[in-house]
């Protein structure tokens, strides 16, 4: 693994189903983030984690949950998917240095029918 | 409220220069980022400015004026591979990024 990986690459999901999007980084970054990206809108922060064992809510957290059991993994769960959660989901991590630059995974394209 | 404004789309010619503007309003300020995003791919980091002035990095330069809440990304000697969306993001007092919707840059031969 080099950088950040996400799985699955894409998924079609029936409304009401539970879904977990996976994110793993091997850069030993403390902070991790989940964003959604919708056409015509900027990236919107769903949840974040500044360090293992802690999580926080972003701009659009409703309907989503996260956990951070260790440094490397930051899964995002949709407990009961709805069509408005159709989006591209990006996981990111940051190095916490002077610039705190965020580095992104390849994304998961999720369609909820 | 917090807001990032940038043009939706711009068109430029291969070999030319283009300037993509961004205005920002954030609660506190801890820097301004530019990312490049090719269609269907993840955003990739281009530049970071926290002090006023111009930062040059090869064909790409980024400028910041904190008093005006303004930044621009300057791309020189445009190549076809520069066709992408360019995302402006301001970092607020909580070190969270506030993102613009992105500027889609179309390069014509």
pLDDT of amino acid B95: 87
Name every residue in B having a CB less than 8 A away from some CB of A: 4, 30-31, 33, 41-45, 48, 50, 87, 89, 91, 95-102
pLDDT of amino acid B40: 94
pLDDT of amino acid A21: 98
One pLDDT digit (tens) per residue for chain B, 109 residues: 789 999 999 999 999 999 999 999 999 999 999 999 999 999 999 999 999 999 999 999 999 999 999 999 999 999 999 999 999 999 998 888 999 999 999 999 9
Which residues are within 8 A (CB) of A49 and not within 5 positions of it... i.e. 6 or more apart? A31, A32, A33, A55, A56, A66, A68, A74
Residue of A nearest to B5 (CA): A42
Question: Do the Cβ atoms of B92 and B69 come closer than 8 Å?
Answer: no
DSSP type of residue B82: G
Phi-psi region of A69 (alpha: psi -120 to 50; beta: other; left: phi over 0): alpha
CB spacing of A101 vs B100 below 8 angstroms? no
Rounded Cα distance between A77 and A22, Å, is: 9
| Among candidate residues B6, B5, B3, the one with its CA nearest the CA of residue B18 | B6
Which residues are within 8 A (CB) of B77 and not within 5 positions of it... i.e. 6 or more apart? B15, B17, B59
Chain segment A29-39, per-residue pLDDT in tens:
999 999 999 98
Rounded Cα distance between A77 and A75, Å, is: 7
Rounded Cα distance between B107 and A55, Å, is: 41
Residue whose entry in the numeric block shows the structure tokens 């030993």: A28
Contacts of A106 in chain B (CB under 8 A): 41-42
pLDDT of amino acid A1: 52
- Chosen for mutation from B7, B25, B42 (greatest number of chain A CBs closer than 10 Å) is B42
- For chain A, list residues with pLDDT below 50: none
pLDDT of amino acid A36: 98
Which residues are within 8 A (CB) of A20 and not within 5 positions of it... i.e. 6 or more apart? A75, A76, A77, A78
């Amino acid at each position: 693994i080099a950088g950040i990986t996400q799985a699955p690459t894409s998924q079609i999901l029936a409304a009401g189903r539970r879904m977990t999007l996976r994110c793993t980084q091997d850069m030993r970054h403390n902070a991790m983030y989940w964003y959604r990206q919708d056409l015509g809108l900027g990236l919107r922060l769903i949840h974040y984690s500044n360090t293992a064992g802690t999580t926080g809510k972003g701009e659009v957290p409703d309907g989503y949950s996260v956990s951070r059991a260790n440094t490397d993994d930051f899964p995002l769960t949709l407990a009961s998917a709805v069509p408005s959660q159709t989006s591209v989901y990006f996981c990111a991590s940051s190095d916490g240095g002077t610039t705190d630059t965020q580095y992104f995974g390849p994304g998961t394209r999720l369609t909820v029918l | 409220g917090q807001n990032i404004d940038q043009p939706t789309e711009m068109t430029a010619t291969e070999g030319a220069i283009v300037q993509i503007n961004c205005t920002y309003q954030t609660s506190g300020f801890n820097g301004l980022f530019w990312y490049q995003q090719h269609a269907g791919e993840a955003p990739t980091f281009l530049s970071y400015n926290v002090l006023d002035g111009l930062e040059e990095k090869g064909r790409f330069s980024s400028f910041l004026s904190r008093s005006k809440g303004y930044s621009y990304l300057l791309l020189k000697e445009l190549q076809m591979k520069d066709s992408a969306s360019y995302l402006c993001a301001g970092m607020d007092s909580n070190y969270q990024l506030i993102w613009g919707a992105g500027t889609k840059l179309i390069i014509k031969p």
